[in-house]
Amino acid sequence: MLRLSCSPPLLLALPANLRILRVATRFYSSQDASSAPASLTINGKAYPSDSWTNVPPSILKHYGRQLHIQPNHPISITRKLIESRFPGFKNHNALPPVVTVGQNFDSLGFAPDHPGRSKTDTYYINKSTVLRTHTSAHEVDVFRANESDGYTISADVYRRDAVDKSHYPIFHQMEGALTWDRNDYPSNQALLDQIKADYDKLPRHDLVVEDPNPTFHPQRNPLQEQHHSPEEAEIISAHLKRSLEDMVVTIFNEADKALAAAGHSSEAEKEPLKVRWIEAFFPHTSPSWEMEVWWRGDWLEVLGCGVIEQPLLIRSNVESRIGWAFGIGLERIAMLLFGIPDIRLFWSNDQRFLAQFEGGKPMKRFVPFSKYPAAPRDVAFWLPKTDSTPTVAATPASTSSAPSSAGGQSTEPAITITDTPAFHENDLMEVVRNTAGDSVEDVVLIDRFTHPKTGRESLCYRVTYRSLEKTLTNEEANMLHEQIRQELVTKFGVELR
């Protein structure tokens, strides 16, 4: 936990209704549910626990921070900047994170066996209740309330994930959607004309756009034939893409200005901004895309989007509406807007961090304050023998509950030890996080092999300890590391090497 003696823990500065009143839980892994307490109390409400419960205290202690609405917080400044590109949209910024499995998955059309539902990826409060894994969890409710044609939803979202400089189990997303109501128009042509007129009113930009594929493709990116005419899908998609292009132009121009102001103008001017549209799959949209931005020498996934699945709108009782939606991760955008090098910094209460940001002023690059030394430690172990020998699989980002884009996560396919009764890599990540908290910078698999005779798997991970607020002594790093080693033995029955 990042705390400085001069600044009180932010949790206590929050109104009582945002605090966790009582957290009656302890950490247990997704495989160790027998020791679950009878209930979890979150924000004053008790939820019965069951064999699905896997929310650790390290997660709950961040509950209520609401970085996206803290004045002058970089996440909040980023949110406002994006919101400003969608005038007239209703902005929902206070939707609480506890949602039903129905809201998070079923309402969006996630298949019953979608990997995102797994306990290794999602924080379950109990079998029917989760900490939302994405802001899309609120789409149906907001459509059903039918208060505005356009809306955004910004919120904290929760995923069991790797530990490194760009991954944190809590991050922030913004959902955006815009629909047109067929009932508002005397004819289909009048509706098409209106969307076209709205499209023509969108700000123009000089961005280089690579968009090589047709708007829809029967196998790769289908039109919802039963519900939309090709003309409708075309114009909605054109409106969607231009709106989002405009948004990234704004963001990246701001980032360039901040770079120039910090004296890095040559870097900023190196290459013109360009974006590309990549066909994608989401249960809640079709056709769908991810947008990537060429930024300082790399293609960067920025967001996911598409034409809203009509069954979702029908379920929301707004069957006469058609339109588009997108989801964007705010951390990644904030990191590149301000040049913030480590995702843990967002949670810092350190004034050397917080005092650097001011909303309503020209963006300024983050000036790193001194880094404390890193203490890497390796842990190697044999996996327990199981009938199903674990295999290492590359999990494509699109199979997770959310694409890497909206999660602000890496574009590399994650190396994942596929589910076995005994060990999943995310369990290790959680042991690390629960033991060492924010004192761990990252955890990487550096070696694995299978014993030629016994067939047993051996894994070796490097855990890099580095606190953002002090130098960790050797003894402290050793102690944390030893605790982690022992937890691995007791929770997963691994054999240390």
Q: How far is the CB of 155 from ligand DAH (least distance, A)?
A: 11
339 binds ligand DAH (CB under 6 A): no
Q: How far is the CB of 427 from ligand DAH (least distance, A)?
A: 22
Exactly one of 236, 325, 345, 375 binds ligand DAH (CB under 6 A); which one?
325
Exactly one of 134, 160, 227, 321 binds ligand DAH (CB under 6 A); which one?
134
323 binds ligand DAH (CB under 6 A): no
Q: Given the complex with ligand DAH, which of 113 and 475 has the nearer CB atom?
A: 113
Pick the piece of the chain touching ligand DAH (CB under 6 A) from 247-255, 353-361, 398-406, 430-438: 398-406
Q: Given the complex with ligand DAH, which of 304 and 339 has the nearer CB atom?
A: 304
- Smallest Cα–Cα separation from 44: which of 28, 60, 21, 73? 21
Pick the piece of the chain touching ligand DAH (CB under 6 A) from 15-23, 216-224, 256-264, 400-408: 400-408
**Cβ–Cβ under 8 Å, residues 386 and 474:** no
Question: DSSP assignment, residue 401?
Answer: S
Q: How far is the CB of 434 from ligand DAH (least distance, A)?
A: 24
Q: Note the residue count of the chain.
A: 497
Characterise 383 by phi-psi region: left (phi > 0), alpha (psi -120 to 50), beta (else). Answer: beta
**Cβ–Cβ under 8 Å, residues 126 and 50:** yes
Q: How far is the CB of 346 from ligand DAH (least distance, A)?
A: 18
Pick the piece of the chain touching ligand DAH (CB under 6 A) from 188-196, 261-269, 303-311, 425-433: 303-311
Q: Given the complex with ligand DAH, which of 29 and 103 has the nearer CB atom?
A: 103
282 binds ligand DAH (CB under 6 A): yes
142 binds ligand DAH (CB under 6 A): no
243 binds ligand DAH (CB under 6 A): no
Measure the CA–CA gap between 379 and 196, rounded to whole angstroms: 59
Exactly one of 327, 339, 390, 408 binds ligand DAH (CB under 6 A); which one?
327
**Cβ–Cβ under 8 Å, residues 279 and 289:** yes
Measure the CA–CA gap between 33 and 27, rounded to whole angstroms: 10
240 binds ligand DAH (CB under 6 A): no
Measure the CA–CA gap between 96 and 64, rounded to whole angstroms: 9
326 binds ligand DAH (CB under 6 A): yes
Exactly one of 336, 402, 417, 468 binds ligand DAH (CB under 6 A); which one?
402
**Cβ–Cβ under 8 Å, residues 326 and 305:** yes
Pick the piece of the chain touching ligand DAH (CB under 6 A) from 14-22, 338-346, 401-409, 426-434: 401-409
- Smallest Cα–Cα separation from 139: which of 312, 382, 322? 312
92 binds ligand DAH (CB under 6 A): no
Q: Is 277 helix (H, G, I), strand (E, B) or coil?
A: strand
Measure the CA–CA gap between 196 and 205, rounded to whole angstroms: 17
169-198 residues in contact with ligand DAH (CB under 6 A) are 175
- Name the β-bridge partners of 346: none
332 binds ligand DAH (CB under 6 A): no
306 binds ligand DAH (CB under 6 A): yes
Measure the CA–CA gap between 409 and 397, rounded to whole angstroms: 9
312 binds ligand DAH (CB under 6 A): no
| Relative orientation angle of helices 230-261 and 74-83, to the nearest 10 degrees | 140
Distances from the Cα of 202 to the Cα of 6, 84, 194, 240, 241, angstroms: 47, 13, 13, 10, 11
Measure the CA–CA gap between 209 and 474, rounded to whole angstroms: 51
**Cβ–Cβ under 8 Å, residues 458 and 381:** yes
List residues near ligand DAH by CB under 6 A: 134, 136, 175, 282, 284-285, 304-306, 325-327, 402-403, 406-407
